[in-house]
């Protein structure tokens, strides 16, 4: 069951972070929570969390950036260390907002961003919620069909609405009918922005240092994971066809303070597909009710 909640009025602004513009929308009052969206074509912060912002804003100051390369933020991501690039930008957002610490909530690419930020600077993160995060066990198995579909979007015959619709309806979610055509239309328009097409923000590592980049992008190879003190909740759709649900167990076995919630009949987009459950569990966890 999903929740279709109207978005509240949100303050919108652009922040200069190391000479790059990061778009941010925010609403609510309370402990700061940063919502980090996934990396699929045409993704953006507010759209990805449209079913969660209003509910979380009842208790929290909800801060929703567009990650570098997406939405209204400056395009381009450092392909030699994409997770580090994203994490650095979001840490810069915290700096510009005068926030020493915040809760982080991240889906997929945004989950990888949150985890990398926490590993690099654990003192900046209060609690962390990860939904099907990227970079978990990626050097231990071949990419899933869903991930291949995502990575091939800008290659071969180039981006198209049918390619995007196939990725979303066949791989991203469990129930294809749950995604309105309007969501696909909006994401397609954003995905073919000439600046994005010229510099896709999520690509396969290539070149002479590709193996080193791949290794760096697999958190299960990072020794710091076993020492990360940040209380973490991992939610993973049991039917996720983009990032394998087995990644949840990998994190739970390595992180010293990690709860794992496997969500039945759900794909890669837990916060969208199971919004009511996500909103409740996320708010409770961030408040220390676990």
**Annotated active-site positions, please?**
268
Concatenated DSSP letters for 10-33?
-EEEEEEETTEEEEEEEE--SSEE
β-strands 61-65, 125-131 pairing: unpaired
DSSP letters, 117-161, are HHHH-GGGEEEEEEES-SSSSTTSSPPPHHHHHHHTTTSTT---H
Are the CB atoms for 66 and 73 separated by under 8 Å?
Answer: yes
Q: Which residues contact 181 (CB under 8 A, 6 or more apart)?
A: none
Q: Long-range CB contacts (< 8 A, 24+ apart) of 222-227? A: 222/119, 224/119, 225/119, 225/251, 225/254, 225/255, 226/254, 226/255, 226/256, 227/256
- What is the side-by-side order of every strand in the sheet holding 125-131? 11-17, 20-27, 61-65, 32-36, 102-107, 125-131, 232-237, 258-263
């Amino acid at each position: 069951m999903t929740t279709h909640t109207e978005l509240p009025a949100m303050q919108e602004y652009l922040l200069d972070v190391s000479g790059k513009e990061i778009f941010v929308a925010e609403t609510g009052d309370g402990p700061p929570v940063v919502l980090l969206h996934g990396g699929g074509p045409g993704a953006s912060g507010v759209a990805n969390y449209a079913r969660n912002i209003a509910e979380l804003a009842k208790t929290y100051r909800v801060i929703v950036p567009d990650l570098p390369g997406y939405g209204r933020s400056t395009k381009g991501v450092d392909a030699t260390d994409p997770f580090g690039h994203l994490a650095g930008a979001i840490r810069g957002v915290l700096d510009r907002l005068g926030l020493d610490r915040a809760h982080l909530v991240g889906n997929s690419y945004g989950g990888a961003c949150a985890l990398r930020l926490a590993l690099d600077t654990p003192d900046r993160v209060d609690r962390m919620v990860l939904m099907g995060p990227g970079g978990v066990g990626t050097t231990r198995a071949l990419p899933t069909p869903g991930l291949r579909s995502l990575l091939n979007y800008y290659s071969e015959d180039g981006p198209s609405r049918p390619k995007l619709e196939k990725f979303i309806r066949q791989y991203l979610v469990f129930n294809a009918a749950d995604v309105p055509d309007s969501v696909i239309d909006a994401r397609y328009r954003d995905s073919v922005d000439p600046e994005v097409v010229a510099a896709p923000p999520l690509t396969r590592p290539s070149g002479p240092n590709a193996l080193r980049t791949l290794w760096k992008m697999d958190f299960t190879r990072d020794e710091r994971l076993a020492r990360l003190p940040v209380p973490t909740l991992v939610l993973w759709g049991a039917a996720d066809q983009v990032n394998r649900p087995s990644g949840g167990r990998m994190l739970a076995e390595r992180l010293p303070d990690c709860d794992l919630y496997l969500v039945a009949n759900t794909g890669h987009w837990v916060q969208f597909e199971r919004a009511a459950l996500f909103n409740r569990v996320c708010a409770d966890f961030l408040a220390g009710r676990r």
